[in-house]
Structures are given as structure tokens and as C-alpha cells.
Amino acid sequence: MRKFTFKGGVHLEENKLTKDEPIKKLDYPSLFVIPLLQHIGKPAKPVVNKNDKVLRFQIIAEKEGMISANIHSPVSGKVIDIKKYITCSGEKVESIFIENDGEYKSFEYEKIDPQKVNSKKLLERIAEAGIVGLGGACFPTHVKLSPPHKIDTFIVNACECEPYLTVDHRLLLERTDELIEGIEIVLKILNIKKAIIGIEDNKIDAYEKLSEKLPKNIEIALLKTKYPQGGEKQLIKAILDREVPPGGVPYEVGVVVHNVGTVLAIRDAVYEGKTLVERVFTASGYVRKAGNYIAPIGMKLKDIISQLGGIPEFINKIVIGGPMMGVAISSLEVPFTKSVTGILFLENLKKEEYECIRCSRCVDICPMNLLPTEIYRKVKKKDYINLKNLYPEDCIECGSCSYVCPSKIELIQYIKLAKILAK
């Protein structure tokens, strides 16, 4: 059996502790805080006012500008405030506060048979539903499905290469038929025939189930388990041997990539008329009820944690996302958003940083063929002119360089700074 891979990368402890835990739904709280910027691009513009009554799935903020996304209410209830509020990123964002009335009355959208409408209608529905990339990047999906270049291949990213995270694995097992329906919708929109599901070899049960059910126009590529195999550019290189140019994007080589959750959100918007008001995530690490869950957008993290049985006192680091690319939060008052793939409860062990020993490990494993240690030196020396020649903007921020550094230098932080300084 052929297994695909890419140059560089690292082999991490997987810690897929929750891979056998079925997805469960969390109870809804009494108060929701819904940020109007949960995506790449411009914030959505409120279309409701304080004291307005709203329904579940109802639009409460419209996308503004070319790259933006609609925001919807996860519950029926009353708008009690609209003001700036802190998010997981630490940024204060205009947010709508909704009081849950406990009735869960829904705004009804038309259910669509994708065989009976054109691709324009399907795209309109996806935009209307506020769907964004659910792998963490949150790029508006309707924009990504309207590329200016000719596309010949659609890749479903089922790698889920970050340690701990297991929701995509569970979705592959629990919603196999719906995933295929979602893929067919995307193929119709892109006007192409071919799709490939890229899946790592640590999900053999999902690979086998998909292999039994996939139609002939949807292939499956088994990839070696290695981080960051789930990076778009690494996935395209491994499966198709196409190289996305520096500073480029996948459509330039004829490819569109979406992750499993995004494809299912597309399917649910079309077939069931659902807008994006909830998402799946993994709760793992030192938490009493580790598992895979569905939570509504706007639920405060403290309300989520209370349903997970609480956390031990020694926990001093809570990470949103995966341990490699996620962000640590400083408050449990922040709301759950479209970008949250995981909530990890970890023990933060302080590491002493030493001088670089020029071992070149970071260079050897960089999946983008960059020179992390040289970027680090240029930042330290404030050599901003030569910094540009090292292309820090091509870094995908996977964190592999920091992970392998024997001197415990947080190289990724220097590269993030370099991206700003090199502009």
C-alpha cells in the first residue's frame, strides 16, 4: 500500500486520547457572547439592535466587504447588549450578547437539492450560512470556492496532524455518508470531477470505512503520520507533487483544499438549511471528561469547562487549538468561536533558553525549506534589510523548529516577529 509524505516535518507524540470517544452535545448556557470577527477579513456588521428578539440560525451580523462572513444566533432569545469584548486571541472585538430564552425556536431556511440548482445558488447558500474554514484558519468558504484560476482537483484534508485533536477522525467515522454528499456539492461548485481525501495512517479504521463507501470519482490517499502533514502546501506536495509558489495559494496550482468539518458544514447548509452556529472540538489533556463535543458559538469557556467536570488545580495552561499552533488563553470568560478546534488543559513547564549551537535541526525539519535559525539571528541583530531575503512570510507557523531546538529557543516567535518587521 503506497503512503504519501513530504520533505521535513517531525514525528510527535500523538496523544490521541479521545479517538474512541463519540461526539457528544453540550448543554446550552443562559448567556451567549458572539464576536463579529471570527474569520479572516472584515468584521461582520450588526443587523440587530439591543432588545431585539432573535431566533436560532437567524443572521445577526452581515458580511461586509469582499472577504468577510455572516454571523448567526445559536439560540432564540433577546439581544441584551452590543459592545467590544475580549476573544481567544486577546483582541477586543465588537460582540453581540444574547440572553437564551430556552425555547430554541429556529429561523427556517429553504432546504436545497443540489442536483436541482446551479453552482451560483449553492455558493449563495454557503455565504448565507456564514461558513468558514473549520481547520482553524477561518477563511470565508464562499470566497475560497470562487477561485480566479481553473481548478482540477479538490482535496479533503482529513489529516488532523496536531497532537490531541480527534474530532475530524470521529466525523469520518460517524458522518461518512454526509461527508460524501458534501464533497459532491463542492465538486459541482468547482465544476470538476475529481476529489481526493488525504488521511494519515493513524486513522486506519476511518480509511477502511471510507474505502468501502467512496464512489469512483472520490479517491483516498493514505499519508504517513508526520507533522505538519495537514498543512495545505504539504498536503498538495505529498499527494499531487505540485509545489505552491512562495507567497502563493493552492488555487495557483489548480487545487482547492477544505477540511472535513468545513465539507460537512457545507453539506448541512445545503441539505438541512443550517447556518454555522455550532462546531465540534476536542477537550483533552488534564480534564476530567476528555472527549469530542459539539458546542454552540458564543458559549463562554467557563460554561464549557463546568460541563467537562472541571480541571485539576495544577493546570496552569489552557490552549485553544492544538499544542503546536494553538494559543494559550488568560481568561475563561472568552467565548467559543468558529476557529476553536480544541481546548487543551496542560501543565506549563518552564524551559530555560540557551544560545543557538548551530546544530541545523530546525533547518532540516522545516517543511517550507526556510532557515529558522538565520531568521532568528537577523531579528536579534535588527538586520531588517537582509531579513526579507529569508522569506519569513512563507512560514506556516507550524512550530516544528521550536519543538526540535535543543537550546529551547522559541524560534517560531522570532519568525512571527520577522513577518511583521520584514514588511
Task: Give the CA angle between residues 255, 261, 263 to the nearest 5°.
Answer: 50
pLDDT the model gives residue 247: 86
Closest CA relative to residue 197, chosen from 158, 236, 237:
158
Grid cell locating 76 = 432564540
pLDDT digits (tens, 9 = 90+) for 241-296: 999 998 899 999 999 999 999 999 999 999 999 999 999 999 999 999 999 999 99
Q: Would residue 173 count as lying in a domain?
A: yes
State whether 345 and 369 are in the same domain. no
Rounded Cα–Cα distance for residues 73 and 335 (Å)? 14
pLDDT the model gives residue 127: 98
pLDDT the model gives residue 99: 99
Cβ neighbours of residue 212 closer than 8 Å, sequence gap 6 or more: none
Cα dihedral sign for 378, 384, 385, 387? positive
State whether 239 and 375 are in the same domain. no
State whether 269 and 195 are in the same domain. yes
pLDDT digits (tens, 9 = 90+) for 328-343: 999 999 999 999 999 9
User: Which domain CATH number covers 213?
Assistant: 3.40.50.11540
Domain holding 374, by residue range, is 361-421
User: Helices (H) and strands (E) in the chain — how many of each?
Assistant: 13, 17
Which of 316, 349, 382 terminates a domain? The answer is: 349
Q: Would residue 335 count as lying in a domain?
A: yes
pLDDT digits (tens, 9 = 90+) for 79-124: 999 999 999 988 999 999 999 999 999 999 999 999 999 999 999 9
Cβ neighbours of residue 104 closer than 8 Å, sequence gap 6 or more: 28, 56, 75, 76
This prediction's pTM:
0.96
Asked whether the beta carbons of 2 and 270 are under 8 A apart, the reply is no
State whether 246 and 283 are in the same domain. yes
pLDDT the model gives residue 172: 99
Cα dihedral sign for 59, 64, 66, 68? negative
When divided into structural domains, the chain yields a total of 2
State whether 341 and 367 are in the same domain. no
State whether 208 and 272 are in the same domain. yes
Closest CA relative to residue 134, chosen from 315, 336, 394:
336
State whether 342 and 380 are in the same domain. no
Asked whether the beta carbons of 72 and 130 are under 8 A apart, the reply is yes
Segment-wise mean pLDDT, segments of 10 residues, the chain, 423 residues: 91 97 98 98 98 99 97 99 95 98 97 97 98 95 96 98 98 99 99 97 98 97 98 97 93 98 99 98 97 99 96 90 95 97 90 93 97 96 91 96 96 95 82
State whether 191 and 266 are in the same domain. yes
Asked whether the beta carbons of 375 and 415 are under 8 A apart, the reply is yes
Q: Would residue 65 count as lying in a domain?
A: no
Asked whether the beta carbons of 40 and 140 are under 8 A apart, the reply is yes
Q: Would residue 50 count as lying in a domain?
A: no
pLDDT the model gives residue 349: 74
Q: Would residue 387 count as lying in a domain?
A: yes
State whether 293 and 391 are in the same domain. no
Q: Would residue 77 count as lying in a domain?
A: no
State whether 333 and 388 are in the same domain. no
Q: Would residue 243 count as lying in a domain?
A: yes
Q: Would residue 221 count as lying in a domain?
A: yes
State whether 344 and 413 are in the same domain. no
pLDDT the model gives residue 410: 95
- DSSP-derived secondary structure letter, 26: P
State whether 200 and 249 are in the same domain. yes
Task: Give the CA angle between residues 128, 131, 137 to the nearest 5°.
Answer: 145
Cβ neighbours of residue 118 closer than 8 Å, sequence gap 6 or more: none
* Sequence-separated contacts (24+) of 192-196 with Cβ below 8 Å: 192/151, 192/152, 192/153, 192/154, 193/217, 194/152, 194/153, 194/154, 194/219, 195/153, 195/154, 195/155, 195/156, 195/219, 196/153, 196/154, 196/155, 196/156, 196/220, 196/221, 196/239
